[in-house]
Chain A
């Protein structure tokens, strides 16, 4: 087990290097750089940027160097000085921009994950054990509804109801008075009261999918001989179901730990924008638009690290829960 974990951690190093290189290249792929984007933007506003200034800036940021030199400057800064570079657009160090965002992203995604589990685990089990019962029909109907409704639409509808009937300030994760305040108990509580909406919106399709997966997996297991034999040795029904088939059907739950973060970042940007969540997704999207390469690169790199850690965690959990994985 220990060597398994060590091996996995060592494997993460080349994976991370590959991700950082690919990220950097991809960010550089669109023609031009931040300065051409800036010039174009200014030109749209009928302003001109002094070409000598552009040249000076280009030299200062090393944008005239070949990509591998730029990459080395970037990655060595991160590795040796913890310096993620400067955001062109915000004119701030990247690190001052992303930690808060990443922290909130983590809070939102972990809460969403917990919500998804809490809903789909019991509902999925009920749905399978009482297959074709009215409760199963309702759960199945709601699950398909959850899968079919686009998140942004659900976000809009829920925002409408929250603001219309509950008078809540919707959008974002904080009320205006706490938005830029420092952390305090009041701010934490404010976050909690705002969190339910994005969690509900972001978690609905995930919960729906997991209900279906749990149901299908459990239905496969419920009639396996080992369940019947366990029943034939006198194990009570509730204990039987939780100890054997549910345990075996649990794997997809554990695997989702690793996916939750990338899914939330890449797939839910629209929702995050609709709900104006101060998470990493919208920030990343903006950075990519304006070719703010250090900001985009820093975000992608950190999200990759988190994703790799998530995957590692889920693999370790899988190995703990399933001896068939541990021994092969």
Chain B
């Protein structure tokens, strides 16, 4: 891999809101497996704006969940953060906390987990302990981060459960997770994640395992809670329909890289990366169902052990430039206020030639 020309300074351009909560820069995560090293995240830079919703979009294996876990310093083994930085701005003008350098098991990191960054996962069925009551787990979370006695913690738990729409919350504290439906469990998980008023909520495909009506309810709930609590949300999903509904900012990921990012409106209106365009074309709509076939992206996501050279999307790309896209890794190109795209179609030709030259 050749070095990436610093054409567009990512951290500058990708910050439309001037008040970032989290700034990720050049994040690299590798998985050291028995079968080889997987580059799970490669030079990922993005900004979570304070009080807004950032959607990370991508297929499975694109690294979107790992990005969320890295924020919690909780990359599952055998994964390791091998480069880059994650700066967490607790207060707008205070010095940031560098999350990657904190001890993953240390007190500081644990204070941030749950207390300042909450996580809800894609499997509400499995995200709660099967042998502990809801109240037990909520009390645990609350007492870890808020200085509350048992009674006060219970009262707070009841309040949170009521907030997420659990009927008769006081009675439900003594119930076990298996006594609730999937949608209810996800509500409980949301109450758990938000119980200590975190500044950021990482929602890792929170609606994937739910049926469509429940999905809509959960999304509405998240939107309501966000405006009520002012929490920033990092929403990880592959569902562009959901993205359109909730996103302020979007980052599209493909095979461990962010290929396009910017504000939601302009990305939906004018997607620049061929992958983003293909994703948008493959959303089923009522207008296109009659007689037509749903558009798909040709090919498959390549194996993480056999990444294509150059732009990792080039074998599936309709617009790939032979001799360029399969040879040179594209760099982030500035394509508008707060918008970048990693694609040679938008890059300066002279710069591409220089990159090709330096390679040969």
A231 touches B74 (CB 8 A): yes
B126 touches A230 (CB 8 A): no
Q: List residues of chain A with CB within 8 A of the CB of B123.
A: 225
Instruction: State whether the Cβ of A41 lies closer than 8 Å to any Cβ in chain B.
Output: no
Question: Which interface class (under 10, 10 to 19, 20 to 34, 35 or more) fits B?
Answer: 35 or more
**Chain B 150-180: CB-based contact to A (< 8 A → 1; otherwise 0):** 0000000000000000000000000010110
Task: Point out the residue from B133, B179, B193 that lies within 8 Å of A233, measured CB to CB.
Answer: B193
A232 touches B119 (CB 8 A): yes
A234 touches B105 (CB 8 A): no
Bound CA span A247–B133, Å: 13
Instruction: State whether the Cβ of B115 lies closer than 8 Å to any Cβ in chain A.
Output: yes
The verdict on A244 contacting B129 (CB below 8 Å), with A228-B74, A327-B176 known, is yes
A234 touches B113 (CB 8 A): yes
Q: List residues of chain A with CB within 8 A of the CB of B133.
A: 323
Residues of B within 8 A of A (CB): 72, 74, 76, 105, 110-115, 117-121, 123, 126-133, 137, 140-141, 144-145, 176, 178-179, 189, 192-193, 196
Q: Which of A224, A247, A323, A327 has the most chain B CB within a 10 Å cutoff?
A: A323
The verdict on A229 contacting B131 (CB below 8 Å), with A234-B145, A327-B176, A327-B179 known, is no
Nearest Cβ on chain B to A50's Cβ, whole angstroms: 69
Q: Which of A228, A236, A244 has the most chain B CB within a 10 Å cutoff?
A: A228
Shortest Cβ-Cβ A-B pairs, 8 listed: A233-B114, A234-B114, A232-B119, A234-B113, A234-B110, A225-B126, A233-B141, A225-B127
Q: Can you list 7 pairs linking A and B with CB atoms under 8 Å apart? A: A226-B126, A228-B121, A229-B189, A232-B114, A233-B193, A321-B131, A322-B130
A226 touches B76 (CB 8 A): no
Nearest Cβ on chain A to B282's Cβ, whole angstroms: 28
A323 touches B176 (CB 8 A): yes
| Nearest CB in chain A to that of B120: its residue | A229
Q: Which of A231, A247, A248, A322 has the most chain B CB within a 10 Å cutoff?
A: A231
Q: Which of A225, A235, A322, A327 has the most chain B CB within a 10 Å cutoff?
A: A225
Q: Which of A223, A231, A232 has the most chain B CB within a 10 Å cutoff?
A: A232
Nearest Cβ on chain B to A69's Cβ, whole angstroms: 52
Bound CA span A321–B130, Å: 11
**Chain A 178-204: CB-based contact to B (< 8 A → 1; otherwise 0):** 000000000000000000000000000
Give the secondary structure class of B's interface: mixed
Bound CA span A327–B196, Å: 31
Q: List residues of chain B with CB within 8 A of the CB of A64.
A: none
Bound CA span A234–B128, Å: 15
Task: Point out the residue from A223, A230, A231, A321 that lies within 8 Å of B129, measured CB to CB.
Answer: A230
Bound CA span A235–B113, Å: 9
Instruction: State whether the Cβ of A324 lies closer than 8 Å to any Cβ in chain B.
Output: yes
Bound CA span A244–B126, Å: 12
Bound CA span A234–B198, Å: 12
Task: Point out the residue from B119, B132, B178 that lies within 8 Å of A229, measured CB to CB.
Answer: B119
The verdict on A233 contacting B140 (CB below 8 Å), with A225-B127, A226-B129, A322-B131 known, is yes
Question: Which interface class (under 10, 10 to 19, 20 to 34, 35 or more) fits A?
Answer: 20 to 34
Q: List residues of chain A with CB within 8 A of the CB of B130.
A: 226, 248, 322-324
Give the secondary structure class of A's interface: helix
Bound CA span A248–B130, Å: 8
**Chain A 303-328: CB-based contact to B (< 8 A → 1; otherwise 0):** 00000000000000000011110010
Bound CA span A104–B110, Å: 51
Instruction: State whether the Cβ of A100 lies closer than 8 Å to any Cβ in chain B.
Output: no
Q: List residues of chain B with CB within 8 A of the CB of A230.
A: 129, 137, 140
Instruction: State whether the Cβ of A59 lies closer than 8 Å to any Cβ in chain B.
Output: no
**A residues 234-257 in Cβ contact with B at 8 Å:** 234-237, 243-244, 247-248
Bound CA span A321–B145, Å: 27
B105 touches A225 (CB 8 A): no
Task: Point out the residue from A233, A323, A324 that lies within 8 Å of B192, measured CB to CB.
Answer: A233
B127 touches A229 (CB 8 A): yes
Q: List residues of chain B with CB within 8 A of the CB of A226.
A: 126-130
Q: List residues of chain B with CB within 8 A of the CB of A236.
A: 105, 110
A235 touches B128 (CB 8 A): no
Nearest Cβ on chain A to B91's Cβ, whole angstroms: 20
Task: Point out the residue from B105, B113, B141, B178 that lies within 8 Å of A324, measured CB to CB.
Answer: B178
Given contacts A232-B113, A235-B144, A243-B132, 13 further A-B contacts (CB under 8 A): A223-B76, A226-B126, A226-B129, A229-B128, A229-B189, A232-B117, A233-B196, A234-B113, A236-B105, A247-B129, A248-B130, A322-B131, A327-B179
Q: List residues of chain B with CB within 8 A of the CB of A321.
A: 131
| Nearest CB in chain B to that of A229: its residue | B127
Nearest Cβ on chain B to A239's Cβ, whole angstroms: 9
| Nearest CB in chain A to that of B121: its residue | A225
| Nearest CB in chain A to that of B124: its residue | A225
Q: Which of A229, A247, A327 has the most chain B CB within a 10 Å cutoff?
A: A229
